[in-house]
Structure 1
């Protein structure tokens, strides 16, 4: 199967790397390791070893796999895997774990097959599978693997806690972290504590107590806080509504990067500190720190809240000036900004100019503005497109908003049609919708 690799190699004008076979395969392994940043170069060396019948060792194999992981090419990975089986390396735990790391990103089904066939598994192997399940959103599978592990290290706990938090199961993630702490055999590091702080930030004020405990633990143990962890602290305090505490932590940080600035800016915007948001953004630029896409989301949110139309235009245009591409959240902020200001034609032009398919947040902002400014005909002009793109099954609140617009515009046939659609999808939960003509709630028996 190795001969097929040549089909994937890009043509190059560079001279081929020639290694002296007399020096032995350790020299080849070193050459492949030195080519780590150039996957195709590593592949050429690997293929050259095969052609010249140089004996492979685990180091040359591992360095090739790690280098080729950058390609994220399932076909090349499969060919390498087939060749390694022939060479007898597939049972080598470190080689198999390295393959697993590639497969969990490219094909989780293949990763699962490899995992099941492995005669020996180490802690890294289990942790890799847990992280893979987390990436797919399968928290139950991740938990089952975690419970099955014969030995759990700190990375294992970090992987499962992060799995719960990243998939929105915040309470369960924090409970697991508390379980680890009460067990007492493992001392947390800044990686798992960063995941915990992320969960606390998403919980808002409910997560403040745990977040403050984490901060206290770090201070008590005299840890030197790095930029990334400091940014987690700033983000947690800001999103939990303790903006002064966020500023205090921010001021104490010896070094501040884009993550810490963005955490403070977005926290300020989230809690209505609009002027502070724009002031912080200007300070950030003065210090030479380049904003990222998330930074601009916070700034544009602040402009929308305060009705700063011209400033919003300026900051939106600034996204491309910084070498970034506007994302759907930036367009959504502009729709919200123009909608709140009553500039509905401009809001709709923004939607039409998007390269992305508008999501429920974008359409919701636009329709809310139509309702606020009583532009029912404009809302109705996009209703067919909205109903075609947004499914009613999991968006009852959004469809109720559309139903309300039909009612306010006196479109009674559409009111009744949409009421029946919601009744079919959600049953008894829609019985509170009135037909809008006599103020009497329509019963759910559809009689």
Structure 2
């Protein structure tokens, strides 16, 4: 295998491990050797440039593809188009689009998304109407684009035209969310009530405003909700943190099945009402309802986050009694429980005796506990085991480095960070989203 071929294998490896910067460094080495770019790698490298906002490097790749003639490839051209669109350079994106000898639906969608990102809905609509073939993604993006600028009339007109086979739960969600974001809760409720997957939509996403509107509608119309609807209401209110309403509905139900018990226990657990979650689990047992693996996962998680060590161990021991086999997530809760309580040796012994291979969550819980209690020796031992299994994650090295830093062992901390980079790992920043005053925000 030639040196260039070896470098391309390394590039693919870096990209598969989400290390785009390292991939581009390797590509620069190939360019310095005067070698041509391998066609199959070009789109991946261009996407890497876009993700890192390294547009000069991306332009150089575009120039190379033009020189080699690979810019006529639909995948390469689409990736170039997407890069310019992400930068907000719609003029150059459109030039690439217009000069493409052939286009697929992804190419059309990329150009439309570029227009919509800049709120140019007229250009997007003109292109949309010229499309020879549309996908569900195309329809959803167009509808979302008009809801974003508050043109709900046009969004609804497009929604009504969506072919039946392409009208997915995402399409309905975009419309309901669009009305809700623009303050028209009445219209949001009307669309929601027509939605075939409505229970899945609201109950699973925990959209409190829309869910409450639906609940009020049920009450106003004098409809007697069935077991399934009541379960959904309990689940929705519990997920949204309205535990008082969730419990009120729960306690007024003529029959309470295992699904509903799980919803109420999970709701209290995820909102920090750990002791109450344990009490509900005991009430469930007293009512003669058999807990399942979901029940145990919720209540064990509550015990871990609430520091209820003995309660958690007692409940875990009951899994055998109810014929429920503990899975990796149940063991993860117990390891987290012991680790938070400072019982690190017990936690590590449990990891080593697991009936299955520890996953990233297990190792992360153990190393997180080591960091919490500044236990470097055990963390080093755990890292040795992790390396022997062939596992690798930026979070492991970050946690170990932070443990060293907390002990002011700066050389070890830096050594660990460098080891992470040598392995081609890059710390991936976390993100979350929330809905506030009708708008969706990413943090």
User: Taking structure 1 as the reference length, what is the TM-score of the superposition?
Assistant: 0.52
Q: Compared with structure 1, are the counterparts of its residues 426 and 344 closer, same or farther at alpha carbon in structure 2 (3 Å cutoff)?
A: closer
Distance 1:372 1:403 in 2: 13
Q: Residue 399 of structure 2 aligns with which residue?
A: 401
Q: Residue 336 of structure 2 aligns with which residue?
A: 336
Q: Residue 382 of structure 1 aligns with which residue?
A: 382
Correspondence 1:143 to 2:137: yes
Distance 1:156 1:216 in 2: 31
Q: Compared with structure 1, are the counterparts of its residues 187 and 275 closer, same or farther at alpha carbon in structure 2 (3 Å cutoff)?
A: closer
Q: Compared with structure 1, are the counterparts of its residues 157 and 142 closer, same or farther at alpha carbon in structure 2 (3 Å cutoff)?
A: closer
Distance 2:381 2:186 in 1: 57
Aligned-residue offset at 1:409: 5.2
Q: Residue 73 of structure 1 aligns with which residue?
A: none
Q: Compared with structure 1, are the counterparts of its residues 341 and 323 closer, same or farther at alpha carbon in structure 2 (3 Å cutoff)?
A: same
Q: Compared with structure 1, are the counterparts of its residues 357 and 186 closer, same or farther at alpha carbon in structure 2 (3 Å cutoff)?
A: same
Q: Residue 198 of structure 2 aligns with which residue?
A: 193
Q: Residue 243 of structure 1 aligns with which residue?
A: 243
Distance 2:186 2:136 in 1: 20
Q: Compared with structure 1, are the counterparts of its residues 221 and 178 closer, same or farther at alpha carbon in structure 2 (3 Å cutoff)?
A: farther
CA RMSD of aligned residues (A): 3.7
Aligned-residue offset at 1:361: 2.4
Q: Residue 357 of structure 1 aligns with which residue?
A: 357
Distance 1:369 1:184 in 2: 45
Q: Residue 262 of structure 2 aligns with which residue?
A: 262
Question: Following superposition of structure 1 onto structure 2, how do residues 264-279 of structure 1 map, counting pairs within 5 Å?
Answer: 264-279=264-279
Aligned-residue offset at 1:239: 2.1
Q: Is the CA contact 1:143–1:160 (under 8 Å) kept in the aligned structure 2?
A: no
Deviates most, 341-350 or 207-216 = 207-216
Q: Deviations over 1:319-346 (max 9, x none)?
A: 1221211111111110111112211111
The secondary structure found in structure 2 opposite 1:321 is coil
Q: Compared with structure 1, are the counterparts of its residues 312 and 173 closer, same or farther at alpha carbon in structure 2 (3 Å cutoff)?
A: farther
The secondary structure found in structure 1 opposite 2:374 is coil
Deviates most, 289-298 or 226-235 = 226-235
Distance 1:427 1:286 in 2: 50
Aligned-residue offset at 1:158: 5.7
Distance 1:428 1:279 in 2: 40
Match of 2:413 among 403, 412, 415: 415
Distance 1:184 1:268 in 2: 27
Aligned-residue offset at 1:294: 1.2
Q: Residue 177 of structure 2 aligns with which residue?
A: 175
Q: Deviations over 1:279-338 (max 9, x none)?
A: 211211222221111111121122223333232222112112212111111111101111
Aligned-residue offset at 1:181: 8.2
Q: Is the CA contact 2:203–2:236 (under 8 Å) kept in the aligned structure 1?
A: yes
Q: Deviations over 1:411-444 (max 9, x none)?
A: 65553343335567687989xxxxxxxxxxxxxx
Query: Runs of 5+ in structure 2 lacking a partner?
Result: 1-133, 141-157, 430-443
Aligned-residue offset at 1:228: 2.7
Distance 1:195 1:267 in 2: 17
Q: Is the CA contact 1:161–1:192 (under 8 Å) kept in the aligned structure 2?
A: no
Aligned-residue offset at 1:363: 1.8
Count of aligned pairs between the two proteins: 274
The secondary structure found in structure 1 opposite 2:223 is coil
Aligned-residue offset at 1:383: 0.9
Q: Compared with structure 1, are the counterparts of its residues 173 and 420 closer, same or farther at alpha carbon in structure 2 (3 Å cutoff)?
A: farther
Q: Is the CA contact 1:303–1:312 (under 8 Å) kept in the aligned structure 2?
A: yes
Correspondence 1:219 to 2:219: yes
Distance 1:173 1:381 in 2: 52
Q: Compared with structure 1, are the counterparts of its residues 185 and 373 closer, same or farther at alpha carbon in structure 2 (3 Å cutoff)?
A: closer
Distance 1:245 1:184 in 2: 20
